[in-house]
Amino acid sequence: MSVISYRTKMDRKILEKYAIGKLKYKSVNAFIDHAVQKVLREELGADTQALKIAQEVHDAVLKHLPLKLRPASSGEEKEMLKELGDLKSGKARAVRMERDFRHSPKK
């Protein structure tokens, strides 16, 4: 493991507050290491032929996905508004999801 000097343009206390407090990294160094690895993977791996093909397949599947939108019934709308109210009031922290759109629709 080698050491590289890093001087942030952000205030160190703010960086620590967000990296450790909000994002739950063990240290600022762990946060910086993860960020560097992520950028390197994205920047260096984006030009590979396999990723380009995977992106094309992904786009084609999304384009032809049998997804049909319809207006909510009055009962469904009431339930959604109740869930929204719970979310705004703090009673709920997440919205319930009936199913995942990545899978085939219910029949």
Same domain, 17 and 57: yes
For residues 49 and 85, state if they share a domain: no
Q: In terms of residue numbers, what domain contains 16?
A: 12-64
Q: Considering the domain boundaries, does residue 102 fall inside one? A: no
Give the pLDDT score at 51. 75
How far apart CA 27 and CA 16 sit, in angstroms, is 8
Predicted local confidence at residue 66, as pLDDT: 73
Quote the pLDDT of residue 78: 92
Which helix (H) or strand (E) segment holds residue 71: the answer is none
Position 104 in a domain: no
What pLDDT score was predicted for residue 96? 62
Mean pLDDT, 10 residues at a time, the chain of 107 residues: 82 88 88 88 72 82 76 89 86 66 50
Q: What was the pLDDT predicted at 42?
A: 76
Q: Would you state the structure tokens that stand for residue 1, as one six-digit string?
A: 């493991």
Evaluate whether residue 1 is within a structural domain.
Answer: no
